[in-house]
Amino acid sequence: GAVVSQHPSWVICKSGTSVKIECRSLDFQATTMFWYRQFPKQSLMLMATSNEGSKATYEQGVEKDKFLINHASLTLSTLTVTSAHPEDSSFYICSARKRAGYTDTQYFGPGTRLTVL
Amino acid sequence: AQRVTQPEKLLSVFKGAPVELKCNYSYSGSPELFWYVQYSRQRLQLLLRHISRESIKGFTADLNKGETSFHLKKPFAQEEDSAMYYCALRSGGYQKVTFGTGTKLQVIP
């Protein structure tokens, strides 16, 4: 199998604080992980691509200094929302890329619901 | 720029009726197309990909490059098919995946 976990599954924080979300591939190594954001009843929007051992690649319009990504190992990527504000409240989903032979598949985590008060 | 369009936000069909979820894309290169499904309170999961040419849970999808479409079809809908379906496109070496806005399939008993 290929399982991706996220922690925490939900978090509530005060405006101005920072929140860290972890994404782990439990039974495979992932050199590449992706972070998405999903607003209610909308699609997933790719925020950044996280590469193990190198800097993340951010999509246009995503603030690098606000959404810090660290992919320190082949099974863990973290997203830190710095100085969170209410407009950062959203559902954050990560996925991990697993390669098997000539194919590779993205496996998704269950998501983290962030609410900023 | 790559784009995926799913024109229907909601599709309601009766059990046993045929289903077609539409997906159109725009991309200048050779795309890889996917369908993902999200059942209620579950995570997003891959349903099928065009290169596999497979049928999963009775669903099939054919890539039509002329019409730039990748519609998802099933001849006889089942209640357990009710879910949110996302069409997605992956481009080149960068492996960036772009998702459509999703279609909610509701199968009426």
- State the pLDDT at residue A84: 95
Residue A113 and residue A91 in contact, taking contact as beta carbons nearer than 8 Å: yes
Residue pLDDT, tens place only, A78-95: 999 999 999 999 999 999
Query: Which residue in B69, B67, B90 sits closest to B20, CA to CA?
Result: B69
What's the CA gap between A65 and A53, in Å, rounded?
18
Question: Chain A contacts of B102, Cβ < 8 Å?
Answer: 43
- State the pLDDT at residue B94: 57
Could you give the percent of chain B with pLDDT greater than 70? 96
Residue pLDDT, tens place only, B47-70: 998 888 788 899 999 899 899 999
Of B86, B95, B96, the CB nearest to A43: B86
Question: Chain B contacts of A32, Cβ < 8 Å?
Answer: 95
